[in-house]
Amino acid sequence: MEKDANAKAILLQTKAETDKSASEAEMRELERQISHDRKLRDFMKLKSQERQEDEELVTYRKRKEAEATEKRRKEKEEHSVEAYESKFKRIQEISGEQDLDKLVDKFIEVEDKNFALFNYVNELNNQIETLQEQIADIKKEIHRF
């Protein structure tokens, strides 16, 4: 019986050591997984912060771009107004007319006349084409006989 008890004690001790080794191995694996999860979480947190910074940067850039676009538009508008004023002054000098309303009315009147003349020239060109076609038809008939 003593042998059985010693054998049982040795067996229990061996089993305890095996269980202890298995528990230690399992503990190391769990610690490794925890460490990996921490590193992954830290990495994801860092990436999240970078994205937020990137979004802030994108927002900043968009705002700056909008400001620059607005500034260019205003400069262009100012330049356009200045250019129109300059051109109106030049037209006033050439025409001798100082009243802008009269100058605009005169321009519209001349533009209407030009448009009417343009339409008249187009009508004449259409008539010329028709007459040329008729002449070509008559020449064909003459050549037949």
- What is the DSSP annotation of 62-98? HHHHHHHHHHHHHHHHHHHHHHHHHHHHHHHHHH---
Per residue in 42-90, pLDDT (tens digit) is: 888 877 766 666 677 778 888 889 898 988 888 877 777 788 888 888 8
Task: Identify the pLDDT of residue 91.
Answer: 84
Q: How confident is the model at residue 103 (pLDDT cuts 50, 70, 90)?
A: confident
Average pLDDT over residues 101-118: 90
Pairwise CA distance, residues 124 & 116, whole Å: 12
Q: Are 30 and 22 in contact (CB under 8 A)?
A: no
